[in-house]
Amino acid sequence: MPAALTGNKGSQVSVDVFIQGSDPMNGFDIVVLANHDTLNPINYAMGNVLTSPTVLVVCVGGKPVFPSPPAPPCSSSLPDTFELAAAMSGSLTPSPTTGLLFTVVYNITGTTPSLNGIP
């Protein structure tokens, strides 16, 4: 079942993306799906899993917004996606890897009806 988020139209909501018990890694490329009629990504913050990471690409709605052209292609072309790819050089995370990868901040631009009392 999708996560239930609450908030008022015109406000913001933050969504944390965690990893738990992963093998060692030196980077990630993650696509987050959210209905663009209700949530629009406006910012992100790196978490604590990667040490001194380099951001490789940020895509909003299937279009690269960082780095400025020429940017690598986005993994998804869907208008409902936010993508962040980052890596660190020279080392791997400890095993098992657990922690906050990143946080996405969304503007709430619409609402959806609740289902069985869940907003």
Per-residue model confidence as pLDDT tens digits over 8-42: 888 899 999 999 999 999 999 999 998 888 998 98
Residue 102 in this model has a pLDDT that exceeds 60: yes
Confidence of residue 1 (pLDDT cuts 50, 70, 90): low
Mean pLDDT of the chain: 87
pLDDT for 3 = 67
Q: Residues 75, 78, 80, 86: what is their CA dihedral angle, to the nearest 10 degrees? A: 10
Q: What is the mean pLDDT of residues 78-98?
A: 92
Q: What is the pTM of this model?
A: 0.84
Residue 116 in this model has a pLDDT that exceeds 60: no
Q: What is the mean pLDDT of residues 45-72?
A: 88
